[in-house]
Every structure is written in C-alpha cells, then in structure tokens.
Amino acid sequence: MHTKSVAQLVKGLRERQFSSVDVTRAYLDRIDALDSQYNSFITVDDAAALTAAKAADERLANGTANALTGIPIAHKDIFCTDGMRTSCGSRMLDNFVPPYDATVIQRFKSAGAVLLGKTNMDEFAMGSSNESSFYGPARNPWSTDLVPGGSSGGSAAAVAGLLAPAATGTDTGGSIRQPAAFCGITGLKPTYGRVSRLGIVAFASSLDQAGPMARTAEDCALLLNTMAAHDPLDSTSSAVAAEDYTATLDDDLQGLRIGVPTEYFGEGLDTATGKCIDQALKELESQGAALVEMSLPHSALAIPTYYIIAPAEASTNLARFDGVRYGYRCENPTDLRDLYSRTRQEGFGEEVKRRILVGTYALSAGYYDAYYNKAQQIRRLIKQDFMHCFEQVDVIAGPTTPGPAFALGAKSNDPISMYLEDVYTLAVNLAGLPGMSLPAGFVEGKPVGLQLIGQHFGEARLLNVAHRFQRATDWHLHTPNSAKGGAL
C-alpha cells in the first residue's frame, strides 16, 4: 500500500480495493515503526487521522468524494492546523495550538483528505538542512547520516521514506525544491500568489509560497488542484484562475523550447551531478524538446539579494512573537523590555536570531537605501533576466542544487556555505516564478534533482514536462533501503 502513488491510492479507494481507514492506518503504523530513523514528523495524532479517514470513507460511500478524499497527507508544521500544535520547528511555538486552519489546510479538509501529521522543518523555515529545528534534525532516508535538505526536510523525508504518500511544503528560497532533490522526490513551488499564504506562519512575505511534495509529478498535480485557488483573505493571492493541472500532463514535448542557463552549469557544480542533469536534458531532447543555451546574467546576485530581502521581511514578520498573546513566554519577566528580549532570546534559535539581526540592520536608518532598496532594485534585474529568456523559451532547466545531500553537521557552523546550497533556487523566488525539482539520477547513492523553472502561472507546463520525463525514466520510483525495513 505504502508504495502506491497518490493517483494509485485514489483509484484504489474509488474501486473499494481498500478504505481510507486502511490506508491511513498503514501509514500511521509505518510512522510509528520507522520514523525514529528520520525524525520527519513533529506531531502525529492517530485518533484524529483515523476519525478523518472514517469520515472520508463515508464520503466515498455516499458519492460526495472529491479527488483527494481519503488520501492521507502530511503537512509541514508551518501550516496552522485548528486544534493541532503548529510549532514551525521552534521553541517559540512549541505550545502553540492555533484555533484556526490555514487556507491550504481548510482546502484539503474540505476535499476530504486526511491530515496525517505535521512534519519537521528548519525553525521558521530558515535553513537548508533541517538542522535548525527545535525538535532535532530530520534525516535523509537515503542515508540517515545525510541531511534531508530544508527547510521542508521533514516533508521530503516522510515522502521519500514512504511514511506519507504526499506532503505539503513551503518554499521561500528553495525550501521545497532543495529537500525534494536531496531526498529523491518531486516537489513544486508554484508561482508567487498561486497558493494562499493565509495561515502559513510567515517567513518572508514577498517570497513565501506553499506547494506539493510527492513522488511523482502527477501526484503533485493532484495536490496542486486542491491547493491552488484565489483567496480573498490574502491580498497577494492571485486572481488568475487555477487550472486542472492533471489535464495536460500527457501532452507531448514536441517543439518545447528548454532554456539552459550557462550560469547554472559552470565551475562549482558537482561534476557527477552535472552529468545527471545533462542526461536528463538529453532525455527531454529525445522527446522532441529543443535545448536553447541562454544566460541569466544577474544570477550571481541572487544570494546577496535574497539574504537582504528575506531577513528584512523576516525581522518584522517575527516581531509578533513577543510572549504576550500566544507561544513561549520567558519566566518572571522583570519589565516589558525584559519580557520581549528574554522571550525572544530563549524562544528563537541561533539562525533565526541571526537573520532577524541582519534584517533589522538592513532596514535600519542609514542602511535602508544601501541594502533593502538596492536589493529590491536588483531583484527587478533578476526578474528581467528571466523575462527576457522566456521570450525565447518555454521552460528553463538546470540542477536544483550544486551537489547531492551533505552530511549532518557538515555546514551547520558555517551559515554562508549553507546559504550557497540555494544558489540555483533563490532567483526563482525573487522573480516569483514557479519551479520544481524532480529526481534525475544518483551520485554515490544520493539522489540528484533536476530543476525546471516556468513562466508565471506556468505550473501546468512544468508538471507536463516533469510527467513526460517520469514516464520515460524511473528515478522517482527508487526506494531507499531504510524505507523497506518494517514494510507493512
């Protein structure tokens, strides 16, 4: 059961091969048996999941089921869930049980999907290795000595370890794509504004976007169908109509123009990883796509630009965590100042505090023009690079990361080398474009991710390319050995 894709589970539920309770119980049992290896979940409520599964089975029986009714889905612990702790991987929210659902959660609930549990993540989504979580790092199912990537590391590990058929993540600078690449799964960051941000604990408002993480592009399309919608309660949510993202999955790739940016293939890209990407591009070419070499000249600036804008927005988004209305509060504050500064000193971890300080600095008097304003100008240049390319190509392809997953602890004391992990993914967020990562091979047993970047609201095209690729390859079907033990 646990090796089935979401699409296969949907079919099985429809044909009464098994019930939602069967499926949900199977996954709960696997989590129970195997997650000590991965630490991919922060919170799992078996009883609530089974209650939802029973309700889903009723819907399946009485004909009111939707596409995802009865499918268990794991959610990154950044999505607020009514009545279930939403920690955001932080001590600050360790005790936070929101009395409301994020729009994304609401949409999954009303579709009848089962909330399987809340997955581990870098604290406040700040990190590329999942090591900044208050709950300890999640681990990579391909080798538990490796990081699963971050910040949606728990979701990636859970899907790769077959503890969930699919999961949600959020991606501010690569947080869906990079862990998807490291764990050998498929993940999509939609266009900024495609999926509602309401009820997602904010990191950087102009960059955050939620998306699906699953084993196949088809499963991502199924999830996106439920996630994508205009939300009148999110001012930045797009009014562009969502599509049926499964409708064009099988379209052929004849005449597709794929841009290959030289900047993403230079020195610094791990050679073996580069070979996998070249192979993947050849596969797409063999299906009729044309590869077009092109340039994104401002690529080098994505990291510094991002590391001003994201911390700046984060520094103020995280100001609400003050120990007054919810969350962590320090013991016996002597005065107001003490309440704030000690609550935040004790409630936030190192990386979060570091980014708040950098962001505060970048916005402070005398530095605003040199940092924040400058970064927003360069952000436009970065977006323009993409826009120019999209005059000639339909999608852009390249590596998701400079190399495969690294060892736990390898970079945890070197923030800048950690930041470099997102070197190919950050620009996509700065420009608000959709991007995805899909399995494209292995280097020494470690998965490699192919990144596809689309035009604004071009998710259907990306999923189509990815699906066609997956029809011809089986990288996405490989299963880590660690997930095979305890199979039920």
Interacting residues with another protein between 351 and 380 (CB under 8 A): 353-354, 356-358, 360-365, 368, 370-380
Selected from 8, 17, 143, 205, the binder of another protein by CB under 8 A is 205
Task: Kindly state whether residue 486 participates in binding another protein, applying the rule CB under 8 A.
Answer: no
| Distance of closest approach, residue 77 Cβ to another protein, in angstroms | 11
State the number of CA atoms in the 13 A half-sphere of 283 facing the CB.
21
Write out the H or E segment, with its range, that includes residue 404: none
CB distance 407 to 437 below 8 Å:
no
User: Who's near 51: CB < 8 A, 6+ residues apart?
Assistant: none
Helices and strands, counts by H and E, the chain: 16, 11
Task: Kindly state whether residue 193 participates in binding another protein, applying the rule CB under 8 A.
Answer: yes
| 65-73, 174-182, 194-202, 221-229 -> range binding another protein (CB under 8 A) | 194-202
Q: Residue 230 or residue 471: which is nearer to another protein going by CB?
A: 230
* Rounded (10°) CA dihedral 455, 458, 459, 460: -150
Residue 175 bears catalytic tag: yes
| 45-53, 181-189, 221-229, 348-356 -> range binding another protein (CB under 8 A) | 348-356
| Distance of closest approach, residue 339 Cβ to another protein, in angstroms | 6
The gap from C-alpha 400 to its chain's centroid, in whole angstroms, comes to 13
Task: Kindly state whether residue 419 participates in binding another protein, applying the rule CB under 8 A.
Answer: yes
Q: Residue 292 or residue 303: which is nearer to another protein going by CB?
A: 303
Q: How many residues bind another protein (CB under 8 A)?
A: 111
CB distance 127 to 351 below 8 Å:
yes
For residue 470, list its beta bridge partners.
Answer: none
Nearest to 208 by CA among 183, 229, 182, 234: 234
| Distance of closest approach, residue 122 Cβ to another protein, in angstroms | 16
Task: Kindly state whether residue 12 participates in binding another protein, applying the rule CB under 8 A.
Answer: no
Spatial separation of the C-alpha atoms in residues 138 and 253, rounded to whole Å: 37
| Distance of closest approach, residue 41 Cβ to another protein, in angstroms | 20
Strands across the sheet with 435-443, in order?
Answer: 41-43, 114-119, 72-76, 166-170, 210-214, 186-189, 435-443, 446-453, 395-399, 257-261, 290-294
Task: Kindly state whether residue 158 participates in binding another protein, applying the rule CB under 8 A.
Answer: no
Spatial separation of the C-alpha atoms in residues 239 and 73, rounded to whole Å: 26
Task: Kindly state whether residue 181 participates in binding another protein, applying the rule CB under 8 A.
Answer: no
Task: Kindly state whether residue 215 participates in binding another protein, applying the rule CB under 8 A.
Answer: no
Task: Kindly state whether residue 107 participates in binding another protein, applying the rule CB under 8 A.
Answer: no
The active-site residue, picked from 87, 175, 196, 238, is 175
Residue 132 bears catalytic tag: no
Q: What is the DSSP string of 311-325?
A: HHHHHHHGGG-SSSS
Q: Please list every residue from 119 through 148 that binds another protein, using CB under 8 A.
A: none
Q: Please list every residue from 241 through 270 that binds another protein, using CB under 8 A.
A: 263-264, 266-270
% helix, strand, coil for the chain, step of 5: 45, 15, 45
Q: Please list every residue from 420 through 479 that binds another protein, using CB under 8 A.
A: 420, 423, 429-433, 456
| Distance of closest approach, residue 361 Cβ to another protein, in angstroms | 5
Task: Give whole-number Cα distances, 48 to 34, 83, 430, 455, in Å.
Answer: 20, 10, 38, 39
The active-site residue, picked from 5, 40, 76, 482, is 76
The active-site residue, picked from 5, 87, 151, 155, is 151
Q: Residue 82 or residue 243: which is nearer to another protein going by CB?
A: 82
Task: Kindly state whether residue 206 participates in binding another protein, applying the rule CB under 8 A.
Answer: yes
CB distance 360 to 371 below 8 Å:
no
User: Who's near 447: CB < 8 A, 6+ residues apart?
Assistant: 142, 181, 182, 183, 184, 404, 405, 439, 441, 475, 478
Task: Kindly state whether residue 313 participates in binding another protein, applying the rule CB under 8 A.
Answer: yes
Selected from 159, 308, 396, 452, the binder of another protein by CB under 8 A is 308
Dihedral over Cα of 384, 387, 392, 394: its sign = positive
Task: Kindly state whether residue 18 participates in binding another protein, applying the rule CB under 8 A.
Answer: no
Residue 128 bears catalytic tag: no
Q: Please list every residue from 84 through 103 that binds another protein, using CB under 8 A.
A: 86, 88, 93, 95-100, 102
| Distance of closest approach, residue 216 Cβ to another protein, in angstroms | 28
Q: Map residues 328-347 to x or -, x wherever contact with another protein holds by CB under 8 A.
A: xx---xxxx-xxxxx-xx--
Residue 108 token pair: 């999954």
Selected from 232, 288, 445, 486, the binder of another protein by CB under 8 A is 232
- For the annotated catalytic residues, the residue numbers are 76, 151, 175
